[in-house]
Structures are given as C-alpha cells and as structure tokens.
Amino acid sequence: MREIKFRAWDKEIKKMRLPERMKHAISLNFNTGIVEIGNGGDVEFLQYTGLKDKNGKEIYEGDILDGGYVVEWETMEDNEMGFGVGIGFNVHPDIVEDSEVIGNIYENPKLIK
C-alpha cells in the first residue's frame, strides 16, 4: 500500500514546507488544493506519488524530472457533473526508475521545457 504524504508550497514566503509545520488550517478548496491558513497566506498541498527517483528521492506532485518531465495529478472531466475527477499521477514506475528529480515547478520554473 502506498504511503499517503504531502508537502506544501507556501505562496506567501515562497518556500516548500511540510504540512505538520503549518498551523491553523482554516479551509481547503478540494478543486484547487489551495488552503487558507491562519496568517492569511495561501498554501498548495502536493501529494507524494509513492515513487522514488533513481537516487531514492521521494517524488511529489509538481516535481520536475530530468528531461523536463513534470509530475502532475491527472483528472478526467466529468461532463455531467461539471467537475474533474482525479484518476492518478502521470508518472509510471518504468519512467521513474531511470529519472532524477531536478527541482519543482515552484522553486525552479525555468527547468520546465
């Protein structure tokens, strides 16, 4: 079974944080993943994929793998209900086993090709 873990991008201080270090979460928008926290800043939670790169580093949503490959949560549009339904991450263990995390979309946006 895959371990469920998150990290968080704090938009106010522009720093990646572990959720347990964040205080007083007020609300979560399940469509965007944005949380309004006590200090008024926005935080975006990024889920662990359950996979590790060739060096054993955990791969999270928003990570950039060598070659410019961005790890994203894929959704399927539900036309009848009008909202997206999560179906999983766009990474496959075969792709990851020879890849390396070189950054993420928040701290290293220039790495995206």
Which pLDDT tens digit goes with each residue over 42-56? 778 888 999 999 999
Confidence of residue 105 (pLDDT cuts 50, 70, 90): very high
Which residues have CB under 8 Å from 11's CB, separation 6+?
A: 41, 42, 43, 44
- Residue 12 DSSP SS3: coil
User: Tokens representing 76?
Assistant: 């399927």
Q: Write down the pLDDT at residue 91.
A: 83
**What is the percent of the chain with per-residue pLDDT over 70, rounded to a whole number?**
66
Q: Where along the chain do its domains lie?
A: 6-108
Higher pLDDT, 107 or 112: 107
The string of pLDDT tens digits covering residues 71-88 is: 988 776 655 555 555 567
The string of pLDDT tens digits covering residues 12-21 is: 889 888 766 5
79 — alpha (psi -120 to 50), left (phi > 0) or beta?
alpha
**Mean local confidence (pLDDT), 28-35:** 64
82 — alpha (psi -120 to 50), left (phi > 0) or beta?
left
Backbone angles phi, psi at 4, to 5 degrees: -95, 115
pLDDT at 107 over 90: yes
Q: Is the full-model pTM beyond 0.75?
A: no
